[in-house]
Amino acid sequence: MHLEIKNLEKFYSKEIPIIKKLNFSVNKGNIISFIGESGSGKTTLLKCISGLEKINSGSILLNGQVLNNDKIFVKPQERKIGFIFQDYPLFPHLNLKENILFNLIDSLKSNIDYILSLTNLEKLINRYPHELSGGEQQRACIARALIREPELLLMDEPFSNLDSQIKESIKEEIFKIIKKTNTTTILVTHDIKDCLNISDKILIFKAGVLQQYDDPEKMYCEPANCYCAKILGDLNKVVLKNKNYYLRPESLKIVKKSNFEVKIDKCFFQGKDYKVRCFYKDEIWYFNSIQNLKKSEIIYLDFNKNDLMFFDSLCEDYFKNETLFLNNLNTNNWFTVIYIHSKY
């Protein structure tokens, strides 16, 4: 494995651990997304991997080399790890080329033409940061990281400051560059669409505990527990034979007649189709439609029984009262909350 995290723990107070007994590994060239709400430990983990924070126990290995354990600590500048932040930290008094070459060892400077071509920045080398667009500044940061030939690239919310109009094209460009250079990458993001579209695997954190580490399709369709299910998208509750099941919006289809009569509340235009909010009995449901349905219109929905999700009683408490549930939850027992692909 290219990156290995073994029994990693990080805490500022032993009573409140930030990361608890974390274990996972990453293959060479993979893009991994970390997701979880604010305070879950994502950015702290990036700092531990990069060497900006020391771990309290466990070990971090990159390409077979120990970076940090109870005896060894490799300084950040010696780890061959690139770090890209959300605020484009370019030196304002240096032009683009000078920013990319800043503090670079002589043996790597010959890569400048290749990197400029790869990031499509050849015509901008004499411009200063204030003369660059947000997308151009982000590509400059990518170029500065990749010219150093990092073994690992860490990206902390790198697209959050980009305008929505250019965000998608810039993201696509950057991840093409990363894949072309076969650079192993860890991305911290709140954008679920990013995770599902570009990741080889997704890692979900809750209170410093790994909840699930899987490929995007399996994680979305077979979440390990209710927290993973909810963080990745909307869930619709349906009661069958006195049991609570859950469905993703895309599992619901409009039909001529069924047992599931719903009343339309509102349609949200998404470009090619609509996200529709409706009422089914006492529940709010969401589904997708190519039609702009009228408010208060009555229609019928149906689904494939194989798409149903069933969660145990502990997860039911989560859906009823998330705050109370999480406050009372012993995170060591979190994995007892299981997803069951169930037929009723």
Name the packing angle between helices 134-146 and 164-180 (round to 10°): 20
To the question of pTM greater than 0.75 for the whole model, the response is: yes
Phi and psi of 2, rounded to 5°? -75, -45
pLDDT along the chain (344 residues), means of 10: 93 84 95 86 91 95 95 93 81 94 91 90 94 87 90 86 69 83 90 85 88 92 87 90 91 96 96 94 95 96 93 64 48 38 40
With contact defined as beta carbons under 8 Å apart, do 27 and 2 qualify? yes
Report domain extents, the chain: 3-221, 226-341
- 282 Rama class: left (phi>0) / alpha (psi -120 to 50) / beta: alpha
CATH superfamily entry for domain 226-341: Nucleic acid-binding proteins (2.40.50.140)
End-to-end CA distance of the chain: 41
Same fold, 3-221 and 226-341: no
**CATH 3.40.50.300 is right for the domain spanning 3-221:** yes
pLDDT of residue 308: 92
